[in-house]
Amino acid sequence: MIKTVFIFLLMVCSALARAQYNSKVYNLYLDFNEAQSKNENAKAFLKADSILHSLEKLPIKAQTSFYRRLAKLYEDQNQPEKAIIYNEKVLQAVPDFYISHRALGYLYLLPTNNLIEKINQAKNNANEHQKYEAQYFKVLKTALPHLEKAEACDHDDATLDLIKGLYQKLNDKNGLAGLDKRLKLLRANCVDLLTD
């Protein structure tokens, strides 16, 4: 009898939770997903803006999925700063979601060409040269853990070569020597799919 009452209460709570999230915001979320999948970017951004004002009304998993889709939308629109923000939010909720790690690894590396140019232009100014070189190395060190997680979860020769090249640029022989061991450890917990 107690078991039957417990199951009944669980079903009622579940139905109430679904009803709570079957709201205007959830419908906006579904519309956002549809607009994004159809490459209707202006419509998707309008829906996203409305969702962001009431995000707490979405289930936690839907929030995380929304952040990833919004990050992808910003990536596709060449707005890396915003794509970084939303990929980081995804990783706060699902730290082992390697797709956001891959995105962040490459997004963090975007300023490197500009920094290399500044380093080269500052050859005759030691302070400027050192400043830009420090920024460059910081960018590489920020990108590496994300690229390693992505590589551990989904091997890609180009990513692996990039990781090795970054360690060589950093002149980090220990980091390079321990790469295989780190990749094996990182491989243990890979998430490749976000569910609503």
The CATH number given to whatever domain includes residue 38 is 1.25.40.10
- Asked, for residue 104, whether it belongs to a domain, the answer is yes
Tell me, yes or no, whether 3 lies in a domain.
Answer: no
Question: Please, which residues have CB within 8 angstroms of residue 75's CB and are 6 or more apart in sequence?
Answer: 83, 103, 107
Whole-number pLDDT of residue 196: 79
Predicted pLDDT at 23: 82
DSSP string, 91-121: HHH-TTBHHHHHHHHHHHHTTHHHHHHHHHH
- In sequence order, which residues have a C-beta less than 8 Å from that of residue 168 and are 6 or more positions away? 176
Q: How far apart are CA 114 and CA 111, in angstroms?
A: 5
Segments in the chain below pLDDT 50 = 3-19, 22
Please tell me the predicted confidence (pLDDT) of residue 195.
87
Is residue 7 in some structural domain?
no
Asked, for residue 168, whether it belongs to a domain, the answer is: yes
In a domain, 18, yes or no: no
Does residue 154 come out as left (phi exceeding 0), alpha (psi in the -120 to 50 range) or beta?
Answer: beta
Copy the structure tokens of residue 107. Answer: 């997004």
- pLDDT for the residue 85: 98
Residue span of the structural domain in which 133 resides: 24-186
| Number of domains the chain contains | 1
> What is the predicted pLDDT for the residue at 2?
52
In a domain, 134, yes or no: yes
Whether residue 2 is contained in a domain is answered as no
Q: Dihedral through CA 192, CA 16, CA 25, CA 193, nearest 10?
A: 0
Neighbours of 4 (CB within 10 A): 8
The backbone torsions φ and ψ at residue 194, rounded to the nearest 5 degrees and listed phi first, read -100, 135
Tell me whether residue 4 is in a domain: no
